[in-house]
Structure 1
Amino acid sequence: MELLDVQQVQEVAEKIKKQFQAIDSVEEISIIEAVGRVLAHDMVSKEDVPGFHRSTVDGYAVKARNTYGSTESMPTFFHITGSVEMGKDVNQTIQEGQAMYVPTGGMLPEGADAVVMIEDVEVVGDLLNVFEQVAPRENVIFKGEDVYDGEVVLKKGHRLRPQDLGGLAAIGVTKVPVYTKLKVGLLSTGDEIVPPETEELLPGQIRDINGISIAAAVQALGGQIIYGGIVKDQFDQYLSKSQELFQQVDFLILSGGSSMGTKDYTSQVMNQLGSPGVFVHGISIKPGKPTIIANCNGKPVMGLPGHPVSAMVLFELFGRQIMNQLHHVNENPFAKQLRARISRNIASQVGRTDYVRVQLEIRDHELWANPVFGKSGLITNLVKSDGMIEISQYKEGIIAGEWVNVILFS
């Protein structure tokens, strides 16, 4: 039997970078529909936000220097000249020793550079007693302090989050140019695999877990899933179905049949889908060693192990990288990581990168990661996990109490 030609994790990541080119198809959509989509151009503000100096509290607009030395026992006195109305311009200018009431979000009158909170004053007729000094710019957002005219608010390749859409709304953008959704094909393989809706399982049958979990992971990254169903372990049928699905998508994922068993046809199928074909067949990793990745006429095809834990871990590591690369995504590798202490010793094998699922908990005001051990065929290992930690190929393990990076699951 032919053995796997295993490669290191970083080596595989570098090969993926060199193998595939980004897809440049763009469409314009409403920001209401844009969450999870990837920006195709830089978004530049054409105005200042806010467009005027505004108060962040209910209080009185003043010249900050006039409040210096104010205390409860020795307040400073101001003459109240009026009040600011929300949503309206202010045509008065604050002079020395004057104050004007301003509500939260209201425009700051000309001449004022700070606001004294209403809790720190007393009104006596048209006189204001101020019991607390303020510094210049205190309790005020100045014009353009949030966004200035000409500022790049979001860069090309950014995957849009809810807060990003709020930022775009603030600068008057209601439509955004985004890359068209990646079409990702998913085909499940195996004589034992049956649809999830199967009510009664015959002996030896299991429901298709990867067809649901990997599809959901693709959609979480903004991809459009095209599910090809389940194909039996028959080479001609497997090849025919793969070729049909391959023509419809930007990225094809084959679940199962990636090891070196007598009926594991995935690598053979990939090599017939296009050239140069398979460039990864085996990764020095646990779980997920028999993963396959191919370049078929410039299009990525990935063969994931059938075990659900292995499939999810490998998709998170390399399927995500491929999707990001096709979509120009500039993703911060640390954005989905937390620092935590590992709760127990974990042994590892030098020369192999291990990914261990963990469950997070707060203990004594610190974040701890509890390993979730179990075989890669058990989906509940993932259900119980918040993320995973990496044990480098150069380490023999980690020691209880050691700080680790937790890669959060999508």
Structure 2
Amino acid sequence: MIDMLGRGDVIPLQKALELLDNVAVVIPEKERMPVEDICGRILAETITSAEDVPHFARSTMDGYALRAEDTFGVTETLPAYIKITNEVFMGKTPNFYIKHGEAAKIPTGGMLPDGTDAVLMFEHTQPFGEADIEVLKALAPGDNVIQAGQDIHKGAVLLHPGHKLRPQDMGALCAVGISETWVYKRPVVSIISTGDEIIPPGVPLNGAEVRDINSYNLSGLLLNNGAVPARKGIFRDDYDTIHDIVTEAVKTSQMVLITGGSSVGTLDMTARIIDSLGRPGVVFHGVAVKPGKPLIAGSVNGIPVFGLPGHPAAVTVSFEVFIKPVLRRLKGELADESSKDILRARLTSNIASQPARTDFIWIKVLNNGGELFAQPLLSKSGLISALVQADGLIKIPAEKRGLQKGDEVIVRLF
């Protein structure tokens, strides 16, 4: 495919993603961490329970522990009568035995005493005399009871390596007595800003200078996706200067992002630097997408390196579409959870697109009476305000010439 500048290396989106999927990455190192610090981290070991959860039969209701057979045939008009002989307390092992015709008062979570196999809710009883109750409902063995090991069996596999740990996973680890576990280290990603016109955000503007947006935007995207950003600074568009900082970055990080070069010459220089540093070098240079067409993707001896165009919109799309899948592998994460961050909505207006090119459009999600609508934020290239207003992206496939008002679209949320 030939792009508007006459280059023949612009490839379709799907081909670019396939090439990236085959790029080798360095396997993450592991570190052992306490459970309280693992939320959002990627598990690096198989978690197997060494005990039953719960390790005793326990009540799921406030009520009376008894023998279910003592309630067989009971109805509200034909009640049974049971004597209350004891009481179960939380955290205490009952040291008594319940016989036929007897029951023990028990709280939710209490341990069933010997001789019992069910719990009768308070609501299904009435007091009868000083120590008896009138039973108004029949029970089956196991009613309102969690048996030992019913939640988690000893020897059961709870979690597998590559799983992104959630709060509920932390709770499960604690339930089986695990206070620390192995997780993969967060990958360090170097961010290199280039451009003679780029200055830090705290410096007054002078003439045609512009402030550094992309390195801070990328830092936030990396933090939100479980990586450690390492901003290396702003460097002028000089081959030797950029070559030196990229050389240092591939030695000290697990991924390198070079951003700022919006001209063809600067991006070509970035491609030459990547090729000069190791194998396989540049994997592709140019993708049939908008925004983000000039994207460079490569690898230097197992370290992924991306050359990003200078527009903030293109940087964000490139991260979401191309960098995030590689970063997921760098983290040791196996499952692709991107499907959790989507919703369906209907377009509020028509959108045109060019054939043979995949377009990504910023979307603001509107809720009108419980129905979701996707409002396109069509703006000129490079405007940061559209990013600020947007809730996510939609994709117009290369085989389409646009979308119509009312079409259902899939919104990829930020």
Instruction: Give yes or no for TM over 0.5.
Output: yes
Q: Per the alignment, do residues 69 and 190 of structure 1 end up closer, same or farther by CA in structure 2, a change over 3 Å counting? A: farther
Percent same amino acid at aligned positions?
A: 40
Query: Structure 1 residues 130, 210: closer, same or farther in 2, change over 3 A?
Result: farther
Q: Which residue of 1 aligns with 2:383?
A: 378
Q: Which residue in 1 is equivalent to 2:217?
A: 213
Matched residue of 2:241: which SS?
A: helix
Match of 1:201 in 2: 205
Residues 136, 386 of structure 1: alpha-carbon distance in 2 compared, 3 angstrom cutoff? farther
Secondary structure of the equivalent of 2:158?
strand
The reply on whether 1:297 has 2:271 as its aligned counterpart is no
Give, in angstroms, the shift of residue 210 of structure 1: 1.6
Partner of 2:62: 58
For 2:173, what is the secondary structure of its paired residue? helix
Q: In the alignment, what sits opposite 1:316?
A: 320
Contact 2:192 2:259 in 1 (8 A): yes
Q: For residue 191 of structure 2, what is the aligned residue in structure 1? A: 186
Report the alpha carbon displacement of residue 57 of structure 1 after superposing the two structures with TM. Answer: 2.7
| AA of the residue aligned to 1:192 | E
Give the equivalent residue in structure 2 for 1:8: 12
Distance 2:80 2:377 in 1: 63
Please give the per-residue CA displacement for 1:29-51, whole angstroms capped at 9, x wherever unaligned.
Answer: 22222222222111111111111
Secondary structure of 1:240's match? helix
Relative to structure 1, is the Cα distance of residues 201 and 47 closer, same or farther in structure 2, using a 3 angstrom cutoff? Answer: same
Partner SS for 2:22: helix
1:49 aligns with 2:53: yes
1:339–1:263 Cα change, 3 Å: closer
Q: Out of 124-133 and 280-289, give the one that drifted further.
A: 124-133
Are 1:223 and 2:227 counterparts? Answer: yes
The alignment of Structure 1 onto Structure 2 pairs a total of residues equal to 408
Candidates 107, 112, 135, aligned match of 1:108:
112
Q: Which residue of 1 aligns with 2:177?
A: 172
Distance between the aligned counterparts of 2:335 and 2:244, measured in 1?
A: 36
TM superposition shift of 1:63: 4.1
1:390/1:150 CA distance change after superposition, 3 Å: farther
Q: Please list, as runs of the form range in 1=range in 2, the aligned pairs for 1:84-103 lying within 5 A after superposition.
A: 84-103=88-107
Moved more, 399-408 or 62-71: 62-71
CA contact (8 A) 2:28 2:187 kept: no
What is the CA–CA distance in structure 1 between the aligned matches of 2:323 and 2:44, rounded to whole Å? 21
Counterpart for residue 280 of structure 1:
284
Q: For the structure 1 residues 22 and 139, does the alpha-carbon distance in structure 2 shift closer, same or farther, using more than 3 Å as the test? A: farther
CA contact (8 A) 1:83 1:100 kept: yes
- Structure 1 residue 250: Cα displacement: 1.4
1:386-401 correspondence to structure 2 within 5 Å: 386-401=391-406
Which segment drifts farther, 157-166 or 387-396? 387-396
**Normalising by structure 1, what TM-score?**
0.89
In structure 1, list runs of 5 or more residues that go unmatched.
none
Counterpart in 2 of 1:342? 346
Which string of whole-angstrom CA distances, capped at 9 and with x for unpartnered residues, describes residues 262-283 of structure 1?
Answer: 6763212222222221111111
Shift of 1:65: 5.6
Q: Are positions 1:364 and 2:385 aligned together?
A: no
**Could you tell me whether the CA contact under 8 Å between 1:233 and 1:263 is conserved in 2?**
no
* CA distance in structure 1 between the aligned counterparts of 2:413 and 2:150, rounded to whole angstroms: 33
